[in-house]
Amino acid sequence: MSQETTLILFKPDTVQKNLVGTVLARFEKEGFAIRGLKMMTLSDEILAEHYAHIAEMPFFPSVRNFMQESPVVALALSGEDVISKVRDLLGPTDSTTAAAGTIRGDFGDKTEDSKMRNVCHASDGPDTAAAELKRFFGEGEIVER
């Protein structure tokens, strides 16, 4: 086991449904520590960087539009093996296949047309987490606990 810090983005659907506190409480219940938390509006530039792997795909404009529907909440969360444990808590990316009891299973959009409305983004590995944390948090915005 290793101590890690990961990035979680509470997506617009979570903010719009007033579920940020409910989902955050699930992470805290698991014993993870909040090291940074802020609400922000995502620019075209940050979205192009964050989604560089799909920025040239024909569906990217709909992803960008969704991610700009409302502010998002960025969370820096730390704990033992937090990256894999958070991903397990969230469940599969596609909320329509997520089991009850997972965050996406309980709160994600279950319509076939809304697979990106899946509550949260979470870093998928240590290198990704490091890059994403730098992208969404400035110097001094992630604190030691």
For 44-87, write each residue's pLDDT tens digit: 999 999 999 999 999 999 999 999 999 999 999 999 999 999 99
Contact of 37 with 57, CB cutoff 8 Å: no
Residue 104 makes CB contacts below 8 A (sequence gap 6+) with 90, 91, 92, 93, 95, 98, 118, 119, 120
CATH number of the domain located at residue range(s) 3-136 in this protein: 3.30.70.141
Q: What are phi and psi of 100, to 5 degrees?
A: -60, 145
Q: What is the pTM of this model?
A: 0.95
Catalytic residue among 121, 122, 133, 136: 121
Mean residue pLDDT of the chain comes to: 96
The yes-or-no verdict on residue 113 having pLDDT over 80 is no
Active site (annotated) includes residue 50: no
The yes-or-no verdict on residue 133 having pLDDT over 80 is yes
> In the numeric block, which tokens belong to residue 42?
């995502």
Terminal alpha carbon distance of the chain: 19
Q: What percent of the chain has pLDDT over 70?
A: 99
Give the model's pLDDT for residue 111: 84
Contact of 10 with 49, CB cutoff 8 Å: no
The yes-or-no verdict on residue 102 having pLDDT over 80 is yes
Question: 112: pLDDT confidence band, cut at 50, 70 and 90?
Answer: confident
